[in-house]
Amino acid sequence: MIDKVISAEEAVAGVRDGMTIMVGGFLGTGSPEILMDALVKKGVKHLTVIANDGGLDAGQPASPAAGKTARGVGKLLEHHMVDHLIVSHTGVNPKINEQVAEGILTYTLVPQGTLAEKIRAGAYGLGGVLTPTGVGTLMESETDECGREKITMVIDGRKYLMERPLKADYAFIRASVADRFGNFMCAKATKNFNYVMAGAAEHTILATEKLMEVGGESPEYYAVPGVLVDAIVEGEKPWQI
């Protein structure tokens, strides 16, 4: 049996300054907090982060009982570890605009659905996705978040943008339940970007709240197969949002 369980420190050991990482979650919901804490402890800098958003800063507690702590990508921003964000919105974490004003952070906005599908294309080896979102706007002529020229196509009389895949060096995601091989599921709203990011990086690291033995649940219980997961860290705290 393949057992992929390692410590949080081991999980982030290969992350280097300047790498591109993906982080699951939606405004802190479903973010892999123990992996963010391990990255902060490691102290890497100049990261490019692909995520739905910038997480929450310390002024936005996850819940009345959680205390005023940053969540998700917000922990990385709090410690000035990020040079560039590729996200669908930035309006919740004030650290983003503060650091942009200071000239130490830049960001690229990608429509949320387009962002998800670009990540999915990266995970499953697709050449890209066709979308009408952005047609007739500056998105047709601007380069994408990686500096690649935009391509348009007309199919059955309708114009589309061809959005190319997104991949990363590491994807840090969170599960509600996983087994030791990496088969996992996410409860309720924590699904968000955790499912599409699995496999969209050279290394997919999964933080799980509950760890099961292989065969402890039927295969149908899990939503994502463990073949997409490289390593597992147990001990994620219960979902707080």
Q: Which residue has the higher pLDDT, 238 or 44?
A: 44
Same structural domain, 33 and 94: yes
Q: Which of 119, 140, 164 is the last residue of a domain?
A: 164
Model pLDDT for residues 80-122, shown as the tens digit of each residue: 999 999 999 998 899 999 999 999 999 999 999 999 999 999 9
- The verdict on 14 and 94 lying in the same domain is yes
CA–CA separation, 125 and 123 (whole Å): 6
Backbone angles phi, psi at 115, to 5 degrees: -60, -45
Domain at 106, CATH number: 3.40.1080.10
Query: Is 174 a member of any domain?
Result: yes
The single residue listed with the structure tokens 């919105």 is 89
Structural domain contains residue 158: yes
Rounded to the nearest integer, the mean pLDDT of the chain is 93
Burial string for 60-93 (b: 16+ CB within 10 Å, else e) reads bbbeeeeeebbbbbbbbbbbebbbbbbbbbbebb
Q: Which residue has the higher pLDDT, 65 or 73?
A: 73
Total domains, the chain: 2
Let me know: does 181 contact 6? Beta carbons within 8 Å: no
Name residue, tokens 């979308």.
131
In a domain, 117, yes or no: no
pTM over 0.85, yes/no: yes
pLDDT at res. 60 = 63
Co-location of 64 and 90 in the same domain = yes
Q: Is the model's pLDDT at 196 over the cut of 70?
A: yes
Helix residue ranges, H only, the chain: 8-11, 33-42, 73-78, 94-102, 112-123, 192-197
| 120 part of a folded domain | no
| Domain range enclosing 216 | 8-110+166-234
Say if residue 100 is in the same domain as residue 217. Answer: yes
- The percentage of residues in the chain with a pLDDT greater than 90, rounded to a whole number, is 84
Residue 34 lies in a domain: yes
61 pLDDT above the threshold of 80: no
Instruction: Indicate whether 64 pLDDT > 50.
Output: no
Continuous segment of H or E residues that includes residue 83 = strand 82-87
Distance CA 227, CA 238 (A): 25
Residues 6+ apart with CB under 8 A from 180: 1, 2, 3, 4, 5, 211, 212, 213, 214, 232
Q: Indicate whether 66 pLDDT > 90.
A: no
- Domain match, 42 and 151 both: no
> Looking at the domain assignment, is residue 240 inside a domain?
no
Residue 118 located in a structural domain = no
Evaluate whether residue 180 is within a structural domain: yes
Distance CA 199, CA 227 (A): 8
**pLDDT single digits (tens) 24-40:** 999 989 999 999 999 99
Are 19 and 137 in the same domain? no
- How many Cα neighbours within 13 Å face the side chain of 137? 10
